[in-house]
Amino acid sequence: MDLAVVVPKPDSEARIADLEAEGVYDDARKIREHDADRVELPVSDRPRETDFDRLVEQDDPELRAPGLDDLLRERGWSDAERDRAPSSWAVVGTVILADFTDCPRRAEVGDALLDLHSEADTVLARGGIDGEHREPDVSVVAGEGDTETVHTEHGTQYALDLSRVMFAPGNKAERARMGEVVAEDERVLDMFAGVGYFALPMARAGARVTAVEKNPESFRYLAENAQLNGVSGNLDCVLGDCREVDSEADRVVMGYYDALGGGPVAEAGTSEGGPGYLDAALDNLVSGGVLHVHSAVPEAELWERPESRLRAGCERAGRTVEIGARRRVKSHSAGVEHVVLDARVD
């Protein structure tokens, strides 16, 4: 007999925690919608300590697909070994990216991940991002070893080689958002375009985008992706330093973590190699335009550090700034957040 308790949808997470604590939550079955306002949480026995609306019997319950922990347990992995396996991963096109750290028997974990994701054919261990060109450090763990793929998000296609160019799966919502905030025929400057992370969704939305990328490998995919997505007519790809571009824009995207640094900044607001990134952005942004500034910030300095740097740069340029939305995109590293400021600059 497959039992479930009916609870209000807004209370479901708290009730699951209560059922787990009581030892009666059945995580082998999926949660099922009961009606517009309530869901059915699967249980192994009638709860005695958890509140619920009613107890029901389920016909033909839907079982959860096995997870990585289940597969490794079936293959003889101990609790201690499974604790060292990746707790999360991302599927990018046909490639699985995972953080293996001190995981034992990586090839076995890679094979298990391929069993979980039939659409993938390669598993990569993800390291850091190195150098001025933000080049990824990855190694093949299992599968065919083909690191080149086409990844699709919200209709946008990204061709890329994950062994040569970076791709941040955690920025998915921000990439989609940028395609929603632009207006048709709006002029946009994307200063750190990469393979078209933000430029492609904006161009697909009808904006006229100048996308600048310094890394020749990323630039090659940027140009290819403009063709792949059918936006070559309104996406101008520029290979070079974004601080040297002259492009009048209604909106500027600064998608680099150190965008507010811009290298060694002198008292006059310029770096040794030319104008700083923020100075260049303001030079191109029309009065009343919108600036999207990404930054990696220690938790203790949110939001003071990025806001003070942005305000100081605008003051230096004789511009006024009004900071609107402040968003956390994802965790960048331990104690450091990847954030974005949206600002109107006059």
Annotated binding-site ranges: 168, 175, 213
DSSP secondary structure string, 233-290?
GGEEEEES-GGG----EEEEEE-STTTTT-SSB-TTSEETTEE-HHHHHHHHEEEEEE
Report which of 112, 117, 163, 122 is spatially closest to residue 142, judged by C-alpha positions.
Answer: 122
**Cα 160 to Cα 213: distance, rounded to the nearest angstrom:** 14
Q: How far is 28 from 65, CA to CA, in rounded Å?
A: 8
Q: Which residues pair with 87 in a beta bridge?
A: none
What b/e string do you get for 212-236 counting C-beta neighbours within 10 Å, with b at 16 or more?
Answer: bbbbeebbbbbbbbbebbebeebbb
C-beta neighbour count of 60 within 10 angstroms = 5
Distance of CA 6 to the CA centre of its chain: 34
On whether the CB atoms of residues 93 and 167 are closer than 8 A, the answer is no
- Binding-site residues from annotation for S-adenosyl-L-methionine: 168, 175, 213
Backbone angles phi and psi of 37, in degrees to 5: -115, -10
DSSP 8-state assignment for residue 31: -
